[in-house]
C-alpha cells in the first residue's frame, strides 16, 4: 500500500501535468490509505480486537478497501450501503466475506444507521467513521511526501477531487508542516443532468468534517468541473493514452487544464487520481 506511481501525462502551456495513480493500491483506490491509517490508529490505541466487527457506510471504494483489509486480518466487516448497490459490488463483498446491510438510498442514511448500530452495541462493533476520522487524513501526509520526494520538491500545485476531504486535508497538513508554497486545489462538481463522477463531493450527500473545513479554508482554492466537460477527456486523453483510471480523474484533469490556462500556472502540476477503471470488480 502506498508508493503509487507518479506518471507524466503531458504538457499544457508552461505546465507539466503528472498523475499520482492511487488506483495501483491493493483494492484499487486511494481508500486503502484511509483504511490503513485507521487500522494503525486503532492498533496503537489497543482497540483493534479480533473478536469485534468493523462497521461503516460506503457505496464503493472505502467499503471495498475495508472489506479487503478485514479479510486480511480475519475480522468480520459489515458494510451499510444503499439499497440500489450494483451487483458487481455485491459479488465483490461476497467474495471477500463482508456482510452487506442495505439501508436507505444514500450514504447519509447509511452513516446514521451505523451510528445507531454502534451505539446500541459498542462492545460488538468498531465504527471506523471514515467521514470524520482524523486517522484517515493523517495517512495522506505520506501521499504528499511521496509526490514531493518523486519530483524533488518541484511542485507548483496539486489538484484532487474533494470527496470526503480527508485526502486533501492530509496532504495539506504535510505541505504546511514543511513550509512548501505549493497551491492546493479542491475539485468539486457543478450540477449536471448528464451524470456525476464517482468520488466527487455532492452537496448534502453526507456531512463530512473534512470537506466542510476545507471549503472554509481560504488557502485552498475550489474549482468546479462538470460531468459533461470531463467525460470526453477520459475517453480521448486518458484511456487512449493508456491511463486506465476512473472517470473522476477526467474531472480533475479538465479543471486543471482550464486553471492552468486561466491562471497562468507553470511548472509541475500533480493530479491525484483516486481509483482504477473497473476497480473492485471480481475476476
Query: For residue 214, is pLDDT > 80?
Result: no
- Within-domain flag for 278: no
| 150 plus 227 within the same structural domain | yes
Residue 16 lies in a domain: yes
Residues 221 and 120 in one domain: no
Counting residues of the chain whose pLDDT is more than 70, the rounded percentage is 93
pLDDT tens digit string along 250-277? Answer: 999 999 999 999 999 999 999 999 999 8
Q: Is 202 within a domain?
A: yes
* 115 and 175 inside one domain: no
At 209 the pLDDT is 65
Q: What is the 3-state secondary structure (H, E, C) of 143-199?
A: HHHHHHHHCCCCCCEEEEECCCCHHHHHHHHHHHHHCCCCEEEEEEECCCCCCCCCC
Phi, psi of 208 (to 5 degrees): -130, 130
Based on the fold, state whether residues 20 and 149 are members of the same structural domain. yes
Q: How many domains does the chain have?
A: 2
Residue 50, domain member (yes or no): yes
In a domain, 208, yes or no: yes
Contact indicator for 55, 68 with CB cutoff of 8 Å: no
Q: Tell me the mean pLDDT in the region 22-36.
A: 95
Which residues have C-beta within 8 Å of that of residue 152, sequence separation ≥ 6? none
187 and 87 within one domain = no
Q: Are residues 195 and 162 in the same domain?
A: yes
1 falls within a domain? no
198: pLDDT confidence band, cut at 50, 70 and 90?
low
3-state secondary structure (DSSP) of residue 39: helix
3-state secondary structure of 67: helix
Residues 126-143 have pLDDT tens digits of 999 998 899 999 999 999
Q: Are residues 159 and 199 in the same domain?
A: yes
The domain that contains 84 carries what CATH number? 3.40.50.1100
Domain boundary (84, 107, 134) is at 134
> Quick one: pLDDT at residue 208?
64
Provide the pLDDT for residue 204.
43
Lowest mean pLDDT among 190-199, 229-238, 245-254: 190-199
Yes or no: say if 117 and 126 are a contact pair by the CB < 8 Å rule. no
- Over its C-alpha atoms, the chain yields an Rg (Å, rounded) of 18
* Residue range of the domain that includes 73: 31-134
Examine the domain organization and report whether 156 and 261 are in the same domain.
yes
- Give the tens place of pLDDT for each residue, 39-90: 999 999 999 999 999 999 987 889 999 999 999 999 999 999 989 888 888 8
Query: In this structure, are 62 and 185 located in the same domain?
Result: no
- The answer to whether residues 34 and 69 touch, using CB atoms and an 8 Å cutoff, is no
Q: How far apart are CA 19 and CA 249, in angstroms?
A: 9
39-49 confidence digits (pLDDT tens): 999 999 999 99
Asked if residue 161 and residue 268 are part of one domain, the reply reads yes
pLDDT at residue 165 tops 90: no
Dist CA 43 CA 236 (whole Å): 44
What DSSP string runs through 75-119?
--EEEEE-TT--HHHHHHHHHHTPEEEE-SSSHHHHHHHHHHHHH
Q: Is residue 79 part of a domain?
A: yes
Cα angle vertex 159, ends 270, 172, to 5°?
A: 95
Instruction: Give the single-character DSSP code of 238.
Output: I
Asked if residue 66 and residue 43 are part of one domain, the reply reads yes
**Would you say 280 and 63 are in contact if contact means Cβ atoms under 8 Å apart?**
no
pLDDT in tens, 175-195: 999 999 999 999 988 888 888
pLDDT of residue 170: 94
Check residue 237 and report its DSSP letter. I
Average pLDDT over residues 147-174: 94
What is residue 266's predicted lDDT score, i.e. its pLDDT?
A: 97
If you search the block for the grid coordinates 498523475, which residue do you land on?
19
- What is the average pLDDT across 188-214? 69
Amino acid at each position: 500500500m502506498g508508493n503509487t506511481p507518479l506518471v507524466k501525462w503531458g504538457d499544457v502551456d508552461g505546465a507539466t501535468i503528472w498523475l499520482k495513480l492511487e488506483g495501483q493500491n491493493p483494492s484499487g483506490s486511494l481508500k486503502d490509505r484511509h483504511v490503513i491509517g485507521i487500522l494503525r490508529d486503532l492498533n496503537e490505541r489497543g482497540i483493534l480486537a479480533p473478536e469485534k466487527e468493523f462497521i461503516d457506510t460506503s457505496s464503493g471504494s472505502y467499503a471495498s478497501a475495508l472489506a479487503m483489509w478485514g479479510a486480511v486480518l480475519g475480522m468480520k466487516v459489515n458494510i451499510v450501503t444503499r439499497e440500489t448497490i450494483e451487483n458487481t459490488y455485491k459479488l465483490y463483498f461476497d467474495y471477500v466475506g463482508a456482510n452487506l446491510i442495505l439501508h436507505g438510498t444514500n450514504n447519509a442514511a447509511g452513516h446514521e444507521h451505523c451510528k445507531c448500530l454502534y451505539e446500541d452495541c459498542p462492545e460488538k462493533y468498531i465504527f471506523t467513521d471514515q467521514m470524520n476520522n482524523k486517522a484517515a487524513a493523517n495517512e495522506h501526509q505520506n501521499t504528499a511526501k511521496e509526490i514531493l520526494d518523486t519530483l524533488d520538491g518541484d511542485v507548483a500545485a496539486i489538484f484532487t477531487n474533494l470527496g470526503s476531504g480527508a485526502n486533501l486535508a492530509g496532504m495539506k497538513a504535510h505541505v504546511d508542516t514543511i513550509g512548501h508554497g505549493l497551491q492546493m486545489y479542491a475539485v468539486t462538481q457543478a450540477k449536471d443532468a448528464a451524470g456525476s463522477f464517482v468520488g466527487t463531493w455532492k452537496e448534502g450527500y453526507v456531512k463530512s468534517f473534512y470537506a466542510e473545513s476545507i471549503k472554509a479554508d481560504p488557502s485552498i482554492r475550489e474549482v468546479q468541473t462538470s460531468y459533461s466537460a470531463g467525460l470526453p477527456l477520459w475517453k480521448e486523453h486518458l484511456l487512449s493514452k493508456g491511463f486506465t483510471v476512473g472517470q473522476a480523474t477526467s474531472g480533475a484533469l479538465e479543471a486543471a487544464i482550464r486553471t492552468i490556462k486561466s491562471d497562468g500556472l507553470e511548472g509541475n502540476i500533480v493530479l491525484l487520481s483516486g481509483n482504477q477503471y473497473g476497480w473492485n470488480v471480481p475476476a
